Amino acid sequence: MAEASGPSRAERVRSLLAEVASLDRVKGGVLVAPDGFVIAAQLPPDIPADPFAAVAATLGRELELGADRLSRGMVGTAFFSAEDGSLFLGGSPVGFLAVLTDRDADIPRMRETVKRMLDALQQVWRAGDHRGENL
């Protein structure tokens, strides 16, 4: 039975996000659905999850819609950097993964990590969809 087979989907999502948040140079991250629902968050206490996730989802939707309007195909990962750090963002059918890093993060490596994590999160989150399992 699902309950006996190991950690629940929610636990696995949180554990994957915790794995990202524990990486060198990473401050934290959030997985947010396109409607703004926060699926999981691992952020420093001075960054409240809901408002940050609301802005991250808005950015993710703008990237998706812009690519669609401009016939650019599927959006992959994106990153944006400022004086004191960077934001890495990736989209999937489930929603958007936003990861915050300090200023010295390795950009190509982080983009690859975000891509890999999105694939893993997607697999875990949608795993029970057609079976009606609880998390």
Partner 1 sequence: MIRGGAPARPVTTVELLQKAERARRDGRLPEAEGLVAQVLGLAPRNVLGHLLAAYLHAAERRSDKARAEFQTVLSLDPAHPRAMLGLARVDLESGDVASCRSLLERALRVYPDFPEARALLDVVLGLAPARGPQASPGPELRLQKVVLPAGTRECLLADVDGTILFSHPVSRTRDALAGHLVRVAGIASAALGRAGLGAMRRGAVGSNSGTTFVQSDPRLVLALTLPPDVEAGAALRELEALWARCMDELGAGSREGNG
How many beta carbons lie within 10 A of that of residue 46, not counting itself? 6
Q: In the window 74-93, what residues touch partner 1 (CB under 8 A)?
A: 74-87
**What type of residue sits at position 133?**
E
Minimum CB distance to partner 1 smaller for 19 or for 78: 78
Least gap, CB of 115 to partner 1 (angstroms)? 9
> Rounded to whole angstroms, how far apart are CA atoms 98 and 29?
5
120 near partner 1, rule: CB under 8 A: no
14 near partner 1, rule: CB under 8 A: no
Cβ 6 vs Cβ 127: under 8 Å: no
How many beta carbons lie within 10 A of that of residue 119, not counting itself? 12
Cβ 98 vs Cβ 63: under 8 Å: no
Candidates 19, 23, 25, 59; binder of partner 1 (CB under 8 A) is 59
Residues that bind partner 1 (CB under 8 A): 9-10, 27, 33-37, 39, 46-48, 50-52, 54-56, 58-59, 61-67, 69-87, 94-95, 98, 100, 107-108, 111, 125-126, 128-129, 132, 134-135
